[in-house]
Amino acid sequence: MTVTTPATLDALADAVATTAPAPLRIAGGGTTRPWRHNGAPPGVDVIALGALSGLTAYDPAECVVTVLAGTPVRHLTDTLAVHGQYLPWDPPIAGDGATVGGMLASGLSGPGRYRYGGVRDFVIGARVVDGRGRLIASGGQVVKNAAGFLLHHALVGSAGRLGVIAEVSLKVFPRAEATRTLVARASSLAGALAAHERLRLANLDLDALDLDATSAVVSARLAGAADALDARAARAARALAHAVETLTGADEARHWQALSLAAWPATGATVKVPAAPSRLTAILATLMPLGPCRLSAGGAVAFLHSTQPLDALQDAFAAAHLRGAVVRGPDAGTPLGIRHAPAFADRVRASLDPDGRFR
């Protein structure tokens, strides 16, 4: 196994071009796929992006930042915080050394996705090195409407199959004046799901709405003007119709950290499953025998952590007509359950990676 650590975009493009047509594995911080421990299969070279780090452009007045793919997410969030700004989708593994490129490749979003959308909604441009070593630009550094195929959006959740993400331009938001989290502990999963649904339908402009299915705990975050939070929190508590614990400050931050994907062990597999509020009971009936489960974004996505063999997960997903993808663990990037392989997606991969180097 040969490990190359380019420190510039030109060096990255050259590293991909000169190793063609050998298979490649892209390595970021090792937080979703622990490459440092497992290495790479025989005959597969590794391109490590840790040296390709730093902000290349940032205009706080325009709320736009451009950053190299090997930059730790924590470094980016700390820089934004100095200017009172943040990443609204709450990257769920930001504190564990995750990189910006890995954030896009995994497609993972945290609780803030509920109100603001996921990481894909904030990517306005990217540069990527394809399988032949060509540096390709998509989008830009300006927020605007665009038509046609958006490669920078296709990179989100691509698990490194389309090429090496080199640089990313993102929209960012001003941080809210104040936040407050309500925590309701139900006596059963059915009671937690009912409270979750009442809150989801209450039109309260929540910042986040998650449910830990294993412990039957509903967590709802409010954000905005400090003088309006008391009234909003009271309405949310009435909709929950359970005893509520109110968290602010460091206690609130610790609560959400405990619910993040980073709090699960790095061993085993963390699986992301598309969901819908109307199907949560059926989806959880399939997932919960396999391991701990959490719902995020108001029930739009479910996360499962399982130590079951990958074949057992595949069989369970297929039998329930579910689809998902392993997003953390040695098998990160592996699809599960029913699979769709649109011809268009195959053509995109063939165009960017004709030798199948990133598969």
Give the Cα separation of 338 and 319 in Å (integer). 9
Question: Is pLDDT of 79 > 80?
Answer: yes
**Residue 71 half-sphere exposure, CB side, CA atoms within 13 Å?**
23
pLDDT for the residue 93: 83
Q: Does the structure show a pLDDT above 90 at 76?
A: yes
Q: What is the DSSP letter of 72?
A: B
pLDDT (average), residues 85-112: 90
Which amino acid is residue 341, in one-letter code? A
**pLDDT cut 90: percent of the chain above it:** 74
Please report the sign of the dihedral spanned by the C-alpha atoms of residue 316, residue 322, residue 328, residue 332: positive
Q: Which of 38-52, 53-67, 82-96, 262-276 has the lowest mean pLDDT?
A: 38-52
Q: Average the pLDDT over 301-314 and give the result.
A: 96
pLDDT, one tens digit per residue, over 1-27 is 688 899 999 999 999 999 888 899 888
Residue 305, number of CB atoms within 10 A of its CB: 22
The predicted structure's pLDDT at residue 332:
86
37 pLDDT higher than 50: no
Q: If we measure between CA atoms, which residue out of 261, 274, 280, 269 comes closest to residue 323? A: 274
Given a contact cutoff of 8 angstroms between Cβ atoms, the answer to whether 126 and 168 are in contact is: yes
Q: In this model, does residue 83 exceed pLDDT 90?
A: yes
The residues near 118 (Cβ < 8 Å, ≥ 6 apart) are 89, 107, 109, 156, 297
Q: What is the pLDDT of residue 346?
A: 83
- In CATH, what number does 51-174 get? 3.30.465.10
Q: What pLDDT is attached to residue 359?
A: 74
Q: Look at residue 227 and tell me whether its pLDDT is greater than 80.
A: yes
pLDDT in tens, 100-157: 999 999 999 999 999 999 999 999 999 999 999 999 999 877 655 555 578 999 999 9
pLDDT at 290 over 70: yes
Confidence of residue 194 (pLDDT cuts 50, 70, 90): very high
Q: How far apart are CA 165 and CA 168, in angstroms?
A: 8
CA 229 to chain centre: 28
Q: Quote the pLDDT of residue 35.
A: 59
Higher pLDDT, 149 or 344: 344
Question: What's the CA gap between 165 and 358, in Å, rounded?
Answer: 12
Return the pLDDT at 143: 58
- Alpha-carbon distance of 199 to 191, in angstroms, equals 12
Average of per-residue pLDDT values in the chain? 91
**Which residues are bridge partners to 67 per DSSP?**
55, 168
Of 357, 359, 329, 355, give the one whose Cα is nearest residue 341: 359
CA distances from 146 to 38, 57, 149, 210, 352 (A): 41, 21, 9, 32, 21
pLDDT exceeding 70 applies to what percent of the chain?
94
Whether the per-residue pLDDT at 340 is higher than 80: the answer is no
So where are the chain's domains?
A: 3-47, 51-174, 178-259
Are the beta carbons of 303 and 324 closer than 8 angstroms?
Answer: no
pLDDT band at 45 (very low <50, low <70, confident <90, very high): confident
Report the C-alpha gap between 266 and 97 in whole angstroms. 13
Specify the higher pLDDT residue, 172 or 149: 172
Amino acid letter, 300:
A
Is the CB of residue 38 less than 8 Å from the CB of residue 54? no
> pLDDT (tens digit, 9 = 90+) per residue, 239-279?
999 999 999 999 999 999 999 998 998 889 999 999 999 99
Please give the CATH architecture assigned to the domain spanning 178-259: 2-Layer Sandwich (3.30)
Whole-number pLDDT of residue 251: 98
Residue 225: what pLDDT? 95
